[in-house]
Amino acid sequence: MKTHNFRLSAVVVLVVLLAIGCAPVSYIGNSYEPTDNVDLYFSVDDIKMEYTVIGHALGADGWQKNQKRIKEALIKDAKENGADAVLITGMEREVRYPWRLWDWHVDNEVTALFLKYK
């Protein structure tokens, strides 16, 4: 019985670690053939090529993670959806439950547009 409980506990811990180890991306838009290279922009003024917006994305990561992980997840998702570029349009950081020292955490969200060059 102890072996069974240990195995079950190990599986639960593994699933939890995998769940908190990735930054989920919510995407709504069109999809094309996957691309290998995606340009990253933080200002529309920096984009020199003509493009069309193929979708909107929201990258989120909680429990005190950083925006680097969200950026990497957005780029990965953009490649999978056939985007040529990602334009970061906003960022939000929210501290949840700051009055509860034992249970506070920070949620991070980054909004972006996925672009396809013409």
* Token pair of 11 as six digits: 């599986």
Percent of the chain scored above 90 by pLDDT?
54
Domain total in the chain: 1
C-alpha 76/C-alpha 82 separation (Å) is 10
Whether 18 is in a domain gets the answer no
Give residue 8's pLDDT.
55
Whether 13 is in a domain gets the answer no
Give residue 92's pLDDT.
85
Give residue 108's pLDDT.
83
Work out whether strand 51-61 and strand 25-29 pair parallel, antiparallel, or are unpaired: antiparallel
Whether 6 is in a domain gets the answer no
Whether 100 is in a domain gets the answer yes
CA torsion, points 20, 104, 59, 18, in degrees to nearest 10? Answer: 0
Range of the domain at 104: 23-117
Mean pLDDT (whole number) for 4-30: 62
Whether 33 is in a domain gets the answer yes
The pTM assigned to this predicted structure is 0.73
Whether 10 is in a domain gets the answer no
Q: Is the pLDDT of residue 28 over 60?
A: yes
Q: List pLDDT tens digits, range 42-96.
A: 999 999 999 999 999 999 886 555 778 899 999 999 999 999 999 999 988 777 6
Maximum distance among all Cα pairs of the chain, rounded to whole angstroms: 65
Whether 14 is in a domain gets the answer no
